[in-house]
Structure 1
Amino acid sequence: MRFSSLLRAMALAGAFIGAPVLAADSSKPLPAIGDFFNNPEFSDAVLSPSGKYLAVRLGNKSKRDMLGVVELGTNAVKVVGNFSDADIGRYAWVNDQRLVFTATDKDLAPGDMRYAPGLYAINRDGTGFRQLAMRNGKAFVTNGSTLGTRELLPWHTYLLGQDGAQDSDFIYVQDRDISGPGELNHVDLLRLNTVTGRTSVSVKRPGASHYWLLDHKGEPRLTITADKGSSSVYYRDPATNEWRKLTDFERFTGSGGTFRPLAFGPDGTLYVLSREPKGDTTAVFTYDLNTAKLSSKPLVKLDGYDFHGQLIMGKDKLLGVQHLTDAMGTTWLDPDMKAMQAKIDAMLPNTINLLTLPTHPESPWIMVTAFADIWPKRIMLYNSETQKLTMVGESYPGINPNQMAHKELVRYKSRDGLTIPAWLTLPQGPGKQLPMVVLVHGGPWVRGGSWNWDPDAQFLASRGYAVLEPEFRGSTGYGSRLFRAGWKQWGLKMQDDVADATRWAIDKGYADSKRICIAGASYGGYATLMGLINDPDLYKCGVEWAGVTDINLMYDGSWFYTSDMSEDWKQYGMPQMIGDQVKDAAQLKATSPLEQASRIKQPLLMAYGTADMRVPLPHGTKFYKAVKQTNPNVEWIEYDEEGHGWKLPKNRIDFWGRVEKFLDKNIGASAQ
């Protein structure tokens, strides 16, 4: 029996190990929309520091998610955390005996939630429960809780997200000073005893700290402060406990400065991200804290990619590096780990297999996260003694890999000669002259995709559409040149890149030039509207959700809708990266979809959440009112209490069902 089946059945005894992975049955019908857009049935698991225990999230569609602990030597499973009116949120091991966790509610849309997750601790055997922090401004009352007379930490207490030493009952937590949506003033670091609930401020910050980094001993050693449009990196000298500034850089553009911190090694070495002289991409260097100099050569350099990933540390040395190129992968420096990776890859030859090691190993268990472009994430355990793999859980068990589409990173030339990466997903069958969806990522200052299973693209491909996802200029992860080329290019060269990608797919014969739709969310929604305006010959229709419809609205907002864009971002980031309201007023007007709504004649599907604080509802309502005056083929969807995207599965399923019908009508089988 698979572990995921065991969790659903709540059979909390006996073997949890699953049957061997079988080849998918290609005779199955195509998966339903819910198979793509329901919440994953299994999302994560965390090994204890010794590797003897596994913490997992237990639950199913009809029950609240609970926190369980598996004793890997006996396969015994015990529920240690559960609430009557909430789900388990984040969780982590304090040490090999104790865990901390937060609360969330998977059944509430963002507009109904107040993000104060609380903080709780419990032993792995279910004893020693203690609430540590308030949830939503009040004590979290649940059956069996014993709060005692001790005062709880305030609601704005959050987990740090770093393991720490994991050798005591203490952890470091964040106390966030927040003055409003998007307005984080500073973060204090508290040393918390998870048994008694007592805290101390053991480290005074050198400024308005927004980020903290623990060293190899689990102690705060570095912080990044923010002051208006600038950020500074400070190091705390262990000999004096005094702060020393290491570098400054522009807070929003990232310009300037020598490096960005990455991690501390077991020997105290500081690993950082920087660029070689005349280099375009970031690489991993070491930084000498005594001489304030970078190493002469990078430790890790990825050809054509900025470094994104993590260093994998052992007890006394650097074991390997996990990094993202087109896909995630691992370069092992340790020969034993390199040999283990080769064995696991031979057992799972069709997937990327990422290994997670215990921080203080005392057992043979290694966690394996396996995935591919056609295969959603699965979590397994590898026993280094028996050299056997066993299944823990599958994120989307309803997905048949044999029915999924392959995804490929391609590159094309823009009209001004810049090389642009793009992701191409082709449905099974003949890959020529297909109806195509050009899917534009949001951000826009992010990397759009990687080689993995993506529900949006795979759903569209399962319905017969080619999917093209350009990493247009402004996208990150591919070097400074591509990123900086997108500054102040909303609706201009950024938009040209999307159109050039579309024409590339037509020229290559992948796309039928008369059956192409443009789609996207957030910035991708903005690009969808501008694509319909700038290139009406290319796009038969458009689908946009949570899309920006006017740049000035991002600055000015609406008096009765709250935005989570900080005032510092509007003052120091947006004028440089998007456009200055005064100096670039003509450009912002010329690149405003709202100002040019009457030019859109193609069918359009729009969707917004009423509680969106990133792109508040007036972006949608104002544009819908304007475009409907001259275009009768506009469909409007409004999801009550949803935010910037759809959290609830019922809304995701409803939305993509509407998208399926809209595409079929305009570029699919029904259109023919």
Structure 2
Amino acid sequence: MPVPAAPDLITRAALFGEPTRHGGQLSPRGDRVAFLAPRDGVTNLWVLSVDAMDEARALTDERARGVSTFRWAADGSTLLYLQDADGDENTRLYAVDVASGATRALTPAGARADILGVSAADPGAVVVALNDRDRSWPDVVRVDLTSGARTVLQRNGGPRGYSSFLLDQNNVVRLGVRARGDGGADVVAFESRGRSRTVFEIPFEDVMSTRLLGFEADGAHVLMLDSTLGQPDTQARDRTALVRVDVATGEKAVLGEGDRADVVDVWIDPVTGAAEAFATEYLRREWRALNADSQADIEFLDRSLTGDFTVASRSADDTRWIVVEESPTTPRRSYMFDRAGPAGRRLTSLFSHRPELQQAALQPMAPVEILARDGATLVAYLTLPAGSDVDGDARPDAPLAMVLLPHDGPWARDSYGFDATHQWLANRGYAVLSVNYRGSAGFGKAFLNAGNGEWGGRIQQDLADASEWAVTHHVAEPDRIAIVGAGFGGYAALAGLAFTPDQYRCGASFAAPANLFAMLDLAPASQREQLYRRVADARTEAGRQLLRVRSPAFHAGRIRSPLLLAYGAHDPRLTRGETDQVAQAVRLRGILTYLTFPDEGRLLVRPQNRLSYLAVLEHFLGDCLGGRVEPVGASFEGAEMNVYDGAVNVPGLSAFSRRPAQPAVQPTSQVVDGSIESESAQSPEAAAEPQQ
């Protein structure tokens, strides 16, 4: 029987370059669509008229990092967007006049702004959370769109400050979530003359699975996702439900819940503020309507689309929606959904986010359930290379090299749908496995809280159990498994190589907190109590011992498999020294590739840098696991990158080579004046000079 030919290489640029168009948002009147698209290679804000969809025009002219987060102001003539400086996460708020394209900054540089609300009752303003006065506890501030004048609506501050606020539909600050010393929170109502009262409490175990959504139009009721509500037959609720709360009495009514997983999305009527439908997600997302009209919407979209759908935007009168469709083999597409036209419901194609993938050989994704060693069920997703599963049973005909992808967070989750990384690696010939280890969100608070204190412990065991499952089920060859991740996923990759050095053939880690002492020390005061309880309490001897045991920086000398290590120099959650500590421990083994990106933070926002890192990662995995490799080509053009180790392993990478810092002693940690300090080596940037 002839072996089927491998499919064409899907280019990294097609999968990970800037989308052609994406992020569509309807204006309040529903007559225009703002969206994101490249302008001279950098993502900017564009706008088009619904009556002239072929006549889009660019509104902004960002030349460096591009625009990623925006929304319409309530006046319908202004767009608001947030932009940081080289990844430092201090997002500054800008306003763009849609008619002229004139752009102006509304908040100061060096402070973080987050949009809390816009309102038809106050169309000339936006309300933001702004931390220019206190870095840890942002105030609630009204900003005038014309003059830029700022008025503090709610002053905030520790030690019992508010971690979040909720406005009503008139942009009045009505509720705040106030941190408690035990890691829990109180939901507080703000009343007249500066008075406040606690509406209800959120225990520590429920803080991450409980969230305020929005006020109904009557101002008397609020919608929320809630895991705290008791039931008649139990003392507590495990799964997060959609709940309606009477703000005056605190009385709660359950509107919807799932059988096996949390509520993860809700349709809310923009006019009344009432809930219309909700989605739960165990293996896949499932929608349930709360009224007949929403049921008809769901049935129409199910009939009209082949993939799963989400509602991305609505007009103020709710007659028009933007709906996004996707599936593992369907790259994202946006549609205009007219719900009240003379001919009834109508769906019109708006744009394909990545039209270059329309004809690509994309592979299906299989949801699987994996039993951990203690009997816990782990929901995971598996993608296989083309031609490797002839009988279609979601298992390859012969074991393959495999890449394990632990997700970031860790309090997030992997989901079913289009995943560029899965498609990329499967196209190169690897089996790809993503697993929701304990501590992942969406599977009930017991599963989420089972990850507390288990960084590098049971979480790491879950990842190892997923690898063993893949070997046992003939998905993966036991000696050809790589572990690759970013953020917490990068931490898990380092921990896997250091704590179980025989488990993985190689690993890649981007933006990883290698020294947990440093991670806690850098965390804002508003988050620290939560982190003490979820990672380890650095104020106690037992906690400090656990942090030392679970920090890969202190055990990097045990790493003997090839390691790709990288980070963005402006990442506010890392110290440059902690990544350098890992590099110095591994360097003499000759198995290290070490990169830094001097104009990036926790994410690789600039496409030149993103494609450069992925080109290095692809060559790294090709050397380690033997998969197919797309030539570097123009991937390094325009990149800002420093390479301290491994430059000779990838064609063209030597142009970015720098000398590494001199070796230093192994890292230690100590408590100084109540804070954790880590002794670390000089960072690469501090000692960098070009190689001769």
- TM-score range for the pair, normalised by the shorter chain length: 0.7 to 0.9
Q: How is 1:286-297 mapped onto 2 (pairs within 5 angstroms)? A: 286-295=244-253
Deviations 1:423-475 (A, max 9, x none): 2222222242111011112222x223111222222211111111111211122
Distance apart, 1:499 and its partner CA: 0.7
SS of the counterpart of 2:379?
A: strand
Q: Are residue 576 (structure 1) and residue 549 (structure 2) matched?
A: no
Which residue, 538, 543, 551 being the options, matches 1:592? 551
Q: Which amino acid aligns with 2:322?
A: M
Which residue, 352, 368, 385 being the options, matches 2:309? 352
- Please name the residue that 1:532 is paired with: 497
SS of the counterpart of 2:137?
A: strand
1:483–1:62 distance in 2 versus 1, CA, 3 Å: closer
- Please name the residue that 2:415 is paired with: 450
Q: How many residues align?
A: 600
Which residue, 332, 349, 363 being the options, matches 1:391? 349
Given that 2:29 and 2:317 are in contact with CA atoms closer than 8 Å, whether structure 1 keeps it comes out as yes
- Please name the residue that 1:372 is paired with: 327
- 2 CA distance for matches of 1:318 and 1:249? 23
Given that 1:121 and 1:132 are in contact with CA atoms closer than 8 Å, whether structure 2 keeps it comes out as no
Q: Are residue 72 (structure 1) and residue 72 (structure 2) matched?
A: no
Q: Which amino acid aligns with 1:650?
A: Q
- 1 CA distance for matches of 2:426 and 2:314? 36
Distance apart, 1:504 and its partner CA: 0.9
- Please name the residue that 1:508 is paired with: 473
Which residue, 106, 112, 127 being the options, matches 1:173? 127
Q: Which amino acid aligns with 2:408?
A: G
Q: Are residue 185 (structure 1) and residue 161 (structure 2) matched?
A: no
SS of the counterpart of 1:518?
A: strand
- 2 CA distance for matches of 1:395 and 1:198? 37
- Please name the residue that 1:415 is paired with: 373
- 1 CA distance for matches of 2:322 and 2:83? 25
1:612–1:281 distance in 2 versus 1, CA, 3 Å: same
- Please name the residue that 2:426 is paired with: 461
Of stretches 256-265 and 485-494 in structure 1, the one that deviates more from structure 2 is 256-265
Using structure 2 for the length normalisation, give the TM-score: 0.78
- Please name the residue that 2:484 is paired with: 519
SS of the counterpart of 1:44?
A: strand
Of stretches 420-429 and 434-443 in structure 1, the one that deviates more from structure 2 is 420-429
Q: Which amino acid aligns with 1:71?
A: S
Given that 1:178 and 1:184 are in contact with CA atoms closer than 8 Å, whether structure 2 keeps it comes out as no
- 1 CA distance for matches of 2:414 and 2:128? 30
Distance apart, 1:327 and its partner CA: 4.1
Q: Are residue 332 (structure 1) and residue 283 (structure 2) matched?
A: no
Q: How is 1:139-538 mapped onto 2 (pairs within 5 angstroms)? A: 156=111, 158=113, 160-164=115-119, 166-174=120-128, 176-178=130-132, 183-190=135-142, 192-195=143-146, 197-198=148-149, 200-201=151-152, 208-226=161-179, 229=183, 231-237=185-191, 242-249=195-202, 253-255=204-206, 260-267=211-218, 268-272=220-224, 273-275=226-228, 276=230, 277-295=235-253, 298-313=254-269, 315-316=271-272, 318=274, 320-325=276-281, 326-354=283-311, 356-361=313-318, 365-384=320-339, 385=341, 386=343, 387-400=345-358, 403-431=361-389, 432=396, 433-444=399-410, 446-538=411-503
1:520–1:197 distance in 2 versus 1, CA, 3 Å: closer
Superposition RMSD in Å: 3.3
- Please name the residue that 1:624 is paired with: 583
Q: How is 1:9-28 mapped onto 2 (pairs within 5 angstroms)? A: none
Q: Are residue 663 (structure 1) and residue 621 (structure 2) matched?
A: yes
Percent of counterpart pairs with the same letter? 23
- Please name the residue that 1:120 is paired with: 95
Q: Which amino acid aligns with 1:373?
A: P
Q: Which amino acid aligns with 2:621?
A: L
- Please name the residue that 1:82 is paired with: 60
Structure 1 runs not aligned, ≥5 long: 1-25, 137-154, 557-562
Given that 1:157 and 1:173 are in contact with CA atoms closer than 8 Å, whether structure 2 keeps it comes out as no
Distance apart, 1:501 and its partner CA: 0.8
- 2 CA distance for matches of 1:214 and 1:222? 7
Structure 2 runs not aligned, ≥5 long: 390-395, 630-692
Deviations 1:547-573 (A, max 9, x none): 2323234346xxxxxx4x224544x23
- 2 CA distance for matches of 1:88 and 1:547? 25
Distance apart, 1:37 and its partner CA: 1.6
SS of the counterpart of 1:422?
A: strand
Whose RCO is larger (CA < 8 A, sep 6+)?
Answer: 1
1:60–1:481 distance in 2 versus 1, CA, 3 Å: same
- 2 CA distance for matches of 1:204 and 1:625? 45
- 1 CA distance for matches of 2:406 and 2:198? 40
- Please name the residue that 1:133 is paired with: 106
Q: How is 1:524-563 mapped onto 2 (pairs within 5 angstroms)? A: 524-555=489-520, 563=522
Given that 2:24 and 2:312 are in contact with CA atoms closer than 8 Å, whether structure 1 keeps it comes out as no
Distance apart, 1:314 and its partner CA: 5.0
Given that 2:168 and 2:215 are in contact with CA atoms closer than 8 Å, whether structure 1 keeps it comes out as yes
Of stretches 510-519 and 542-551 in structure 1, the one that deviates more from structure 2 is 542-551
- Please name the residue that 2:676 is paired with: none
Given that 1:116 and 1:135 are in contact with CA atoms closer than 8 Å, whether structure 2 keeps it comes out as no
Distance apart, 1:403 and its partner CA: 1.2
- 1 CA distance for matches of 2:377 and 2:187? 33
- 2 CA distance for matches of 1:623 and 1:159? 34
Q: Which amino acid aligns with 1:544?
A: S
- Please name the residue that 1:5 is paired with: none
1:341–1:513 distance in 2 versus 1, CA, 3 Å: same
1:497–1:243 distance in 2 versus 1, CA, 3 Å: same
Given that 1:307 and 1:477 are in contact with CA atoms closer than 8 Å, whether structure 2 keeps it comes out as yes
1:353–1:493 distance in 2 versus 1, CA, 3 Å: closer
1:62–1:525 distance in 2 versus 1, CA, 3 Å: closer
- 2 CA distance for matches of 1:40 and 1:456? 15
1:189–1:208 distance in 2 versus 1, CA, 3 Å: farther
Deviations 1:584-632 (A, max 9, x none): 3443333332333232222222222222221222222111111223x22
1:595–1:246 distance in 2 versus 1, CA, 3 Å: same
Distance apart, 1:308 and its partner CA: 2.1
- 1 CA distance for matches of 2:510 and 2:56? 42
Deviations 1:103-136 (A, max 9, x none): 648xx7426xx845243253x5449x68462553
Q: Which amino acid aligns with 2:94?
A: L
Distance apart, 1:199 and its partner CA: 5.1
Given that 2:451 and 2:458 are in contact with CA atoms closer than 8 Å, whether structure 1 keeps it comes out as yes
Distance apart, 1:345 and its partner CA: 2.7
- 2 CA distance for matches of 1:659 and 1:456? 12
SS of the counterpart of 1:614?
A: coil
Deviations 1:19-41 (A, max 9, x none): xxxxxxx9983321111221222
Distance apart, 1:203 and its partner CA: 5.7
